[in-house]
A and B are shown apart, each in its own frame.
Chain A
C-alpha cells in the first residue's frame, strides 16, 4: 500500500472515530482532538512538508465534521505540524516523558490557537469561565491516546521510507 493510501486510510478511520466513539467520551464537556494529534504526529514523523500536507487534510476533514467554517482547522494544523517538526529536529535526544510533555504543550497550543482563530471569525467556542480548564482537559485527553495513534501515523507517513537516513560528510 502506498504512503498516500495509508494516510487516507488513517485520516478516514480517525474521522469516523472522532465522529462516533470519541464524541461519547467527554470530561467536563471536553473531548479528544484526534485529528489534531494526527497533525502533530505527522509533523513529528513526516517532516515539515509532508507533515503540513497531512495536517492540512486532517484539518479539512475536521472542519467538514464540525459546525465550523471550512478551513478553520486547516489553517491552524499545518503551522502546528511544521512547528512540531522544527522542534523535533532541534531536540538532541528523545525521551518518552519529554515527548509526552512536548505533545501536551503542542496540543494546548493547537486547541488554544483554534479557539483564538475561531473567535477572530466570530465563533464562540467556549464558555469564558471554563475556557482554560476545557483546553487543558482536552489536551490531556488528547495526549493520553497518543501512543496508539503514534504507531498508526508513523506507519502512514513514513510509508516505505527507511526510518532513519544518516548522512556523513566525507572524511568525518
Chain B
C-alpha cells in the first residue's frame, strides 16, 4: 500500500499536468504541425515491431478464425454459392442486378471503373477502443497515399483515408458518424449529402434532396464528384427507405453497396490530374 510521502504535492502537480494536456489539445486543434509529426513519428518508430508482430500472429489468428469462425464462414460460402448460381441464371436486365453482381465480383477484383488505384491489404482494427468504424491498411505515404483519398472495393465506396503514416493508414469507413459524401441519385439525378450513421452498412441523406423529388426504393446512388474529395460515379449504395412522406425534413436511408465482411483487400483511388489552375 502506498504511503503518503511528505514531498507529495498532488494538487499543484495535477493542475500543471491538466494545463499541459489542455494546451496540447488546443495546439493540436489549431493545427500545430510538430504535434502531428510527433504522433506520426512515434507510430513510425514502433511500426517495424507491429509488422513483425502481425507476421508472427497471422497463423495464430488464422487458426483461431478457422476454429471459431468456421461455421459462419461455411454458411457465408453456401449463401454466396446459392446467390451466384441464381445470378448466373438471370439475365442482367436491371440496374439492381448489375449492382449486386458488382458486389460479388468485388472479391475477384473486377473493377467497375478505370480509376488509378493502389491495392491495400486490410490489417484489422487499429489499436485502442477509439476505433469503431475504422480499419487499418498496410500502405501509407511511401506508396503515394494521402489523407482524404477515397477507398473502394469493386462494389463501391468503402470510406476515406483518415490518417496516413509512412507504411500504414487508417480508413474511416463510410458508416462512421463523421463521414460525409456528396451523392447523386442515378434515376432522378438529385444530389444530396450522405453521412454515416454509426450502424453497420447504413448511410443517411438528410440534406440536399428536395422534399418533392421522386425517389424509389432500390434506386442506386453514386458519388456526385464536383467539389467533393471523392471522384464522381463511384457506386455508394441503394435506397432502402426514400422517406417519401416527410413533411419537413427528408431522411433517406441508404444501404451501402460494399460489404466489408470477409474482405482482405481494398483499393485507394488516386486523384486524377486536374487541369492547370484548378484546385
Residues in chain A within 8 A of chain B (CB atoms): 15-16, 18-24, 26, 29-31, 33, 44-53, 56, 59-72, 74-75, 78-79, 82, 85, 88-89, 94, 111, 114, 118, 121-130, 134, 138, 164-166
User: How many Cβ-Cβ contacts under 8 Å join chain A to chain B?
Assistant: 169
Query: In whole angstroms, how far apart are the Cα atoms of A33 and B127 in the complex?
Result: 10
B132→A29 contact, CB < 8 A = yes
Number of interface residues of B (CB under 8 A): 52
Q: Is B130 an interface residue (CB 8 A)?
A: yes
Residue of B13, B23, B39, B61 near A24 (CB, 8 A) is B61
Query: In whole angstroms, how far apart are the Cα atoms of A166 and B2 in the complex?
Result: 11
B38→A70 contact, CB < 8 A = yes
Cβ distance A29 to chain B, nearest Cβ, rounded Å: 7
Residue of B17, B24, B49, B178 near A19 (CB, 8 A) is B49
Q: Is B18 an interface residue (CB 8 A)?
A: yes
B10→A21 contact, CB < 8 A = no
- Write out the residue numbers on chain B whose beta carbons fall within 8 Å of the beta carbon of A46: 2
Q: Is B275 an interface residue (CB 8 A)?
A: no
B17→A89 contact, CB < 8 A = no
Task: List 9 A-B pairs, minimum CB-CB distance, nearest first.
Answer: A71-B24, A48-B10, A20-B53, A64-B42, A75-B21, A71-B25, A124-B177, A74-B21, A71-B21
B198→A128 contact, CB < 8 A = yes
Cβ distance A17 to chain B, nearest Cβ, rounded Å: 9
- Write out the residue numbers on chain A whose beta carbons fall within 8 Å of the beta carbon of B49: 16, 19-20
For A66, give the chain B residue with the smallest CB separation: B128
- Write out the residue numbers on chain B whose beta carbons fall within 8 Å of the beta carbon of A60: 24
A82→B61 contact, CB < 8 A = no
Query: In whole angstroms, how far apart are the Cα atoms of A56 and B244 in the complex?
Result: 52
- Write out the residue numbers on chain A whose beta carbons fall within 8 Å of the beta carbon of B8: 47-50
- Write out the residue numbers on chain A whose beta carbons fall within 8 Å of the beta carbon of B39: 63-64, 70
B2→A45 contact, CB < 8 A = yes
